[in-house]
Amino acid sequence: MTSAAPDGRDVRPPAAPDASQRRDLRPLVAAATTAVVSLALVLAAARWGWLGPDVGRGDGFCEAARPGWVRQPVNTWSNLAFVVAGLAVAWYAADRVRLGLTMGAHPGLATAYAVLVVLLGPGSMAMHATQTDLGGHLDLLSMFAVSGFALGYALMRFVRRGPAFMAVVFLVAVVVGMAVHLRGGSVPPVGHAGNAAFAVQVGGAVALEVALIRRRSPRQDVWFGLASVATLAVAFAIWTTGQRDHPWCRPESLLQQHGLWHVLCALAAYLLFRHYAAEHAP
């Protein structure tokens, strides 16, 4: 549609920006920088023993420890799936139009989530590559960072608060999770108490997402959320078969169930983000 200017010239409305003009590469830069720096640090730490002595941390998983500075190669390198998933989140988040209602209003949260998903990779690599105590702590810390985000973001939307409220919930979740982990203990069937705390936080986030879907305002995506939960459930079923004492354990095999657990969890994390980004007004 055009209109005439006083001098008779046609005046056309400005064209809407195309996708390339809308793209904000800051999420991708943040995630990529995090990936490069964190991977370089964890690989250097494994190569030169910065995380301490090998105490067999994580040797309850099936893969046999190899000689050299990467003790469990399959369980180590499979964590690159988290880096890929985090970069995929950042690439998607570069277009704010696709971020949905809440993340579109607070795009920094999408960048933060991308960075945390990336860090899951080096965090878990720190344990599987070195089998050190400190590596095990970094593994759980990266897990609680993501479960704390999921819990905080769900609660923020449920009580209709802002990112500052979410930040408080996130910090509390991480601190409490690490405290439970450091206290120790065993909780069947997930093993270490830290794993149980992680499962509780994820379960709380899922329960809140279900409540948000039932509330219907704003509209939450169902299918991406279901796909994320289903993928995580399949991943956990596979995880249970990847223990050293399981009859399916093949310590020398290149096909390790725990490695597949990493890949599926990375997919679940990406699908969870797509669930967040699909939120829209009723």
Average the pLDDT over each of 3-12, 46-55, 107-116, 161-170 and give the range with the smallest value.
Answer: 3-12
| pLDDT number for residue 75 | 97
Q: What is the mean pLDDT of the chain?
A: 92
pLDDT value at 177 more than 90: yes
CA 275, CA 218: separation in Å to the nearest integer?
13
Q: What is the pTM of this model?
A: 0.90
Q: Band of the pLDDT at 192, cuts 50, 70, 90? A: confident
**Domains with residue ranges and CATH for the chain:** 24-277 (1.20.1070)
Cis ω for the linkage preceding 189 (within 30 of 0): yes
pLDDT value at 232 more than 70: yes
Q: Which of 89, 134, 135 is nearest to 113 (CA)?
A: 89
CA 70, CA 36: separation in Å to the nearest integer?
18
| pLDDT number for residue 216 | 84
pLDDT value at 9 more than 80: no
Alpha carbon of residue 260 to chain centroid: 16
Q: Which of 239, 238, 228, 237 is nearest to 268 (CA)?
A: 228
Encode pLDDT of 127-139 as tens digits: 999 999 999 999 9
Identify whether the C-beta of residue 235 lies closer than 8 Å to the C-beta of residue 261: yes
Q: Which of 250, 52, 198 is nearest to 133 (CA)?
A: 52
Sign of the alpha-carbon torsion through 122, 127, 192, 168: negative
CA 195, CA 67: separation in Å to the nearest integer?
28
Encode pLDDT of 235-245 as tens digits: 999 999 999 99
| pLDDT number for residue 172 | 98
At residue 143, φ and ψ (nearest 5 deg) are: -65, -45
Q: Band of the pLDDT at 4, cuts 50, 70, 90? A: very low
pLDDT value at 105 more than 50: yes
- Token pair belonging to 107: 């795009």
pLDDT value at 13 more than 50: no
Count of C-beta atoms within a 10 Å radius of residue 9: 9
Q: Band of the pLDDT at 12, cuts 50, 70, 90? A: low
| Residues 8-32, mean pLDDT to the nearest whole number | 68
């994390």: which residue's tokens? Answer: 269
